[in-house]
Amino acid sequence: MKYIFKFPDIGEGLEEGTIFEWLVKKGQKVESGDPLVTMETDKVVTDIPSPKTGTLVTLFGKEGETIHVGDALVEIEIEGTKGGDAIEEAEQDSVTAAIEEEEGAGVVGTLEIAGSSAIISSSKEGIDYTSSELSPAKKRAIATPVSRALAKDLGVEINNVKGTGPAGRVMKADILKHRENGKTTSPSGPNTLISSKEAMVEIEPMTQIRKTIAKNMIRSKHNAAHMTVFEEVEISELDRIRTKYKDKYAEEGIKLTYLAFIFKAVALALKKFKSLNSEMDLENGNMIYKKYYHIGLAVDTEKGLVVPVLKNADKLSIIEIAKEIQHLSERARTGKLSMDELKDGTFTITSFGSIGGIFGVPVINYPQAGILGVGRISKQPVVKDDKLDIGLILPLSLTVDHRIADGGDSSRFINTIMEYLSEPVSLTLE
């Protein structure tokens, strides 16, 4: 019997993923638990294992293609499974859910698919999933709402486009190719005035990470009352200590950065100001004050911004924090972060100064209460003991949810961080 395995919900509310790399080939035998495909989601790159033992009959989708949770991934020929057993197995997997409407469905059209997985009898081995057998006389294209919108914008009749996606789904590339061939809805329409060769725009599909960044930014702005406090702290003493020890730890493969000291300072300050380490539960009318200090680190990667979480920062030494920052940053840039490394953050630090920028207005990683932005360090004239001197100035930008943290607590919180950083010995005394 044949078993259709669909892209599962792997947690954290993920709705879709991009096929990064197929790890198997059509006709290959697989065991239950063998990795089938590497999927890039909006949070991680992860392998999807086979749920069954059998032979792969069909691989749905191409590398680089985006599919939704519930879309078919592979078709497996299960050896030695009788019809009755297959039906019972299918029922246990919540089979036979038909997609007929765009609302609530990632792919729309006339194709019948199973809710989680499907069993197809051997008598259907030769079935053409894109044939008229599964669709009415006038076939309606199988496509996502995004593809339909693109076709409409370009003046393309999507029902006339030949789809190359799973089960004949019309992909964005299909629409663009169709348009390049001069097949638009109306030859005299405004969209045909500019030929594909003369087009002045370049269209690229959004990455999963970029989609999530956009969604989270809007969510944060809509749900939190942002307020930002700007400050500067003189860190010549911190620089002296770091310079003294950085070469020693470099020999051990540890990069001792300013950020390690900042993480420690923030963790200790959060213990003194619980409102900055909390979130608001409006549904139940509660404030949730967290007694653990998991600080997120915003990391700039080629694919976009990701925020791995450094757990229990208050319990780690500065050197341990430095090692963990290095470890998480490397995993983020190579796309190897696990779901656990992205969960349960209580506060976030973003260091934009290493790229460029003195002050910023960081956006809160909702539902957290605050985020600290770290700007570019620079030498500036300062007054020490009533004398003009050269100081090393670190700019800080603290954004808080003003519903949770008042101006007084926010100012005291950032002042505490500044005290730790200006007198770094105090970081080791608490």
Give the pLDDT confidence of 348-402 residue by residue, as tens digits. 999 998 888 899 999 999 999 999 999 999 999 999 889 999 999 999 999 999 9
372-388 burial: b if 16+ Cβ within 10 Å, else e = bbbbbbeeeeeeeeeee
44-80 pLDDT, tens digit per residue, is 778 889 999 999 999 998 888 888 888 999 999 987 6
The answer to whether the beta carbons of residues 269 and 420 sit under 8 Å apart is: yes
Q: For residue 156, give Cα distances in angstroms to 159, 186, 201, 397.
A: 9, 8, 17, 48
175-183's contacts with Cβ under 8 Å and 24+ in sequence apart are 175/147, 175/150, 175/151, 176/203, 179/154, 179/155, 183/156, 183/157
pLDDT class of 289 with cuts at 50, 70, 90: very high
| pLDDT above 50: residue 206 | yes
pLDDT class of 28 with cuts at 50, 70, 90: very high
Does the pTM exceed 0.85? no
The answer to whether the beta carbons of residues 394 and 237 sit under 8 Å apart is: no
DSSP conformation letters of 169-229: PPPHHHHHHHHHTT--S-TTSGGGSS-GGG------PPPHHHHHHHHHHHHHHHHS-EEEE
> Which whole number is the average pLDDT over 272-294?
96
- SS3 at position 296: strand
Measured CA to CA, the distance from residue 315 to residue 309 in angstroms comes to 14
The answer to whether the beta carbons of residues 354 and 323 sit under 8 Å apart is: no
| pLDDT above 80: residue 198 | no
333-359 pLDDT, tens digit per residue, is 998 898 899 999 999 999 998 888 899
Measured CA to CA, the distance from residue 203 to residue 211 in angstroms comes to 15
The CA-based dihedral angle spanning residues 350, 356, 358, 359, taken in that order and rounded to the nearest 10 degrees: -50
DSSP conformation letters of 323-392: HHHHHHHHHHHTT---SGGGS--SEEEEE-TTTS-S---PPP-TTSSEEEEE---EEEEEEETTEEEEEE
| pLDDT above 60: residue 31 | yes
Structure tokens at 224: 């939190």
Structure tokens at 138: 């006038």
Measured in whole angstroms, the distance separating CA 332 from the mean position of its chain's CA atoms is 11
Per-residue pLDDT, 136: 40
- The lowest-confidence range among 45-59, 66-80, 111-125, 254-268 is 111-125
> Which whole number is the average pLDDT over 210-214?
84
> Which whole number is the average pLDDT over 78-87?
56
Measured CA to CA, the distance from residue 223 to residue 273 in angstroms comes to 22
Q: Is the peptide bond before 367 cis (omega within 30 degrees of 0)?
A: yes
Backbone phi and psi for residue 219, each to the nearest 5 degrees, phi listed first: -60, -45
| pLDDT above 70: residue 183 | no
Kindly name the residue from 178, 222, 327, 402 that is annotated as catalytic.
402
- Can you list the domains of the chain with their CATH numbers? 2-134 (2.40.50.100), 145-205 (no CATH), 209-428 (3.30.559.10)
The amino acid occupying position 221 is: K
Burial (CB < 10 A; 0-12, 13-18, 19+), residue 3, is buried
Per-residue pLDDT, 227: 96
The answer to whether the beta carbons of residues 302 and 333 sit under 8 Å apart is: yes
Q: Give catalytic status of residue 402 as yes or no.
A: yes
pLDDT class of 137 with cuts at 50, 70, 90: very low
The answer to whether the beta carbons of residues 144 and 166 sit under 8 Å apart is: no
| pLDDT above 70: residue 145 | no
| pLDDT above 60: residue 182 | yes
The answer to whether the beta carbons of residues 245 and 317 sit under 8 Å apart is: no
| pLDDT above 80: residue 315 | yes
> Which residues are CB-neighbours of 258 under 8 A, at least 6 positions away?
235, 238, 239, 242, 374, 377, 394
